[in-house]
Amino acid sequence: MSLFNVYPLFDITPVKAKDVYVYDENGTQYLDLYGGHAVISIGHSHPTYVEKLQQQLANIGFYSNSIQNPLQQQLAEKLTAISGCKFYELFLCNSGAEANENAIKLASFHTQRHKVVAFKNAFHGRTSAAVAATDNPKIVAPINAQQAVEFVDFGDIEALTNILAKGDVCAVITEIIQGVGGLDEASTEFYKTVEKLCKQFGTLFIADEVQSGFGRTGDFFAFQKHEIEPDIISIAKGMGNGFPVGGILIHPKIKASFGLLGTTFGGNHLACTAALAVIETIQQEKLLDNVEEISTYFIDKVSQISGIKTIKGRGLMLGLEFDFPIAELRKELIYNHQIFTGSSKNPNLLRILPSLTVKKEHVDVFINALTKALELKKV
Ligand SMILES: Cc1ncc(COP(=O)(O)O)c(C=O)c1O
């Protein structure tokens, strides 16, 4: 049986990884500034993570949500402590799309409405309601297109107000910093107004922190910079450092009832252990401080390189915008300098999403390689 061919692949086969490095079958070392798409948060194969997962697997790896699993409660408590999001309740699932799917579904249950507002260039995943709220017609199948979603320009308060005033919107869903879309972030005034309008018109505010959460921006959640309180916060990616786990933080005004949401795998013992190891490591290694320090250093260094039009994003969720498509540059970095970077919907934007453990010396290696690659381009 061959594989269903949906992924254009780089011809590299990692077989081992350690912190910010991955190694292929020939032992070639690659600097990973992509983190497998913002997933690696505490570094590949972190010793605490490996030890805790091995131990948990030897004890019990999985049982369904029909029994007591104290690890889920532990995770909820640790998540409250590290995020400062008191009073929220936690529902666990397996991926970012599933987190958003549940968030939208919950908003619809709560409000008994069915329309969603999302923003231009948004990416929320590939499942039913999540993909309908994603601004990319190529990945929206006719079955998804029947969902009622209105797209508004990111930052357009007037358009948003006009739609919400009709009173039939269950949720406004937004990334705080658009990831796949190309690292745009709206103003604090915009987010605060969205929060206010949602309250005014009985709509729920969903913050998609799937990519920006778990410390990637230097705050535990990206929305915290804007001092807002979303009704639902979706999480995944960095949460499990590679173990598939996601979830939603739910404001207590939204009431639970048996059977309202559910999943077979979500919140299993291994998934909780992975997330607990991530939180413990972020705290012990003061990784949020590291994000701030390395981000400042990175931005300072890249600012000195001519040819970069804009530096976008914050923390270690960064984008370098050029005035040419970066596809070849990305290939040059990977094949000739052994550095993984990312792309986005904006063809001119190179994305930098390293592990939160990345150090200045790694940034230096990248700066050196980028400088050389850009010089080569001029020749
Ligand atoms: C902001 C955001 N939301 C949701 C998703 C979907 O997550 P997953 O691929 O785990 O379903 C992504 C994935 O890139 C994302 O960046």
Q: Is the CB of 195 inside a 6 Å radius of any atom of ligand 1?
A: no
Residue 9 lies in a domain: no
User: Which residue segment(s) compose the domain that 147 sits in?
Assistant: 47-284
Q: Are residues 248 and 363 in the same domain?
A: no
Per-residue pLDDT of the chain (379 residues; tens, 9 = 90+): 999 999 999 999 999 999 999 999 999 999 999 999 999 999 999 999 999 999 999 999 999 999 999 999 999 999 999 999 999 999 999 999 999 999 999 999 999 999 999 999 999 999 999 999 999 999 999 999 899 999 999 999 999 999 999 999 999 999 999 999 999 999 999 999 999 999 999 999 999 999 999 999 999 999 999 999 999 999 999 999 999 999 999 999 999 999 999 999 999 999 999 999 999 999 999 999 999 999 999 999 999 999 999 999 999 999 999 999 999 999 999 999 999 999 999 999 999 999 999 999 999 999 999 999 999 877 6
State how many domains the chain has: 2
Q: Is the CB of 236 inside a 6 Å radius of any atom of ligand 1?
A: yes
Backbone torsions φ then ψ of 162, nearest 5 degrees: -60, -40
Q: Are residues 150 and 247 in the same domain?
A: yes
pLDDT at 55: 98
Closest Cα to atom 16 of ligand 1: 211
Residue 1 lies in a domain: no
Closest Cα to atom 3 of ligand 1: 124
Rounded CA-CA distance 193/96 in Å is 26
Do the beta carbons of residue 236 and residue 95 sit within 8 Å? yes
Residue 6 lies in a domain: no
Atom of ligand 1 nearest to the CA of 122: 1
- The CATH number assigned to the domain holding 252 equals 3.40.640.10
Residue 347 lies in a domain: yes
Q: Are residues 251 and 308 in the same domain?
A: no
The two structure tokens encoding residue 297: 């250093």
Which one of 284, 305, 337 terminates a domain?
Answer: 284
Do the beta carbons of residue 24 and residue 34 sit within 8 Å? no
Q: Which residues, at least 6 apart from 213, have a Cβ–Cβ distance to it below 8 Å?
A: 220, 221, 222, 233, 235, 237, 238, 239
The two structure tokens encoding residue 208: 């998609």
Mutate to test the pocket of ligand 1, among 94, 124, 174 (most ligand atoms within 8 A of CB): 124
Q: Is the CB of 208 inside a 6 Å radius of any atom of ligand 1?
A: yes
If you measure from the C-alpha of residue 312 to the centroid of ligand 1, how many angstroms do you get, rounded to a whole number? 19
If you measure from the C-alpha of residue 183 to the centroid of ligand 1, how many angstroms do you get, rounded to a whole number? 14
Residue 57 lies in a domain: yes
The two structure tokens encoding residue 372: 């050389």
Q: Are residues 321 and 280 in the same domain?
A: no
Atom of ligand 1 nearest to the CA of 125: 6
Mutate to test the pocket of ligand 1, among 37, 93, 102, 123 (most ligand atoms within 8 A of CB): 123
pLDDT at 379: 62
pLDDT at 378: 74
150: how many CB neighbours lie within 10 A of its CB?
17
Residue 192 lies in a domain: yes
If you measure from the C-alpha of residue 100 to the centroid of ligand 1, how many angstroms do you get, rounded to a whole number? 9
Closest Cα to atom 9 of ligand 1: 96
Q: Are residues 215 and 323 in the same domain?
A: no
Q: Are residues 175 and 279 in the same domain?
A: yes
The two structure tokens encoding residue 298: 């990175």
Q: Are residues 248 and 294 in the same domain?
A: no
**The model's pTM:** 0.98
Q: Are residues 336 and 268 in the same domain?
A: no
Q: Is the CB of 180 inside a 6 Å radius of any atom of ligand 1?
A: yes
The CA-CA-CA angle for residues 166, 110, 171, to 5°, reads 45
If you measure from the C-alpha of residue 201 to the centroid of ligand 1, how many angstroms do you get, rounded to a whole number? 28
Residues recorded for the chain: 379
Atom of ligand 1 nearest to the CA of 127: 11
Q: Are residues 305 and 180 in the same domain?
A: no
What is the dihedral angle through the alpha carbons of 24, 30, 33, 39, rounded to the nearest 10 degrees? 20
Q: Is the CB of 175 inside a 6 Å radius of any atom of ligand 1?
A: yes
Q: Is the CB of 244 inside a 6 Å radius of any atom of ligand 1?
A: no
- The CATH number assigned to the domain holding 340 equals 3.90.1150.10
Residue 308 lies in a domain: yes
Q: Is the CB of 178 inside a 6 Å radius of any atom of ligand 1?
A: no
Long-range CB contacts for residues 160-167, cutoff 8 Å, separation at least 24: 160/117, 160/193, 160/194, 160/197, 161/197, 163/117, 164/117, 164/197, 164/198, 164/200, 164/201, 164/203, 165/201, 167/201, 167/202
Q: Are residues 357 and 219 in the same domain?
A: no
Which one of 225, 259, 284 terminates a domain?
Answer: 284
Q: Are residues 131 and 227 in the same domain?
A: yes
Q: Are residues 75 and 152 in the same domain?
A: yes
Mutate to test the pocket of ligand 1, among 210, 241, 243, 248 (most ligand atoms within 8 A of CB): 210
Dump pLDDT digits (tens) for 250-259: 999 999 999 9
Q: Is the CB of 125 inside a 6 Å radius of any atom of ligand 1?
A: yes
Residue 7 lies in a domain: no
Which one of 222, 254, 284 terminates a domain?
Answer: 284
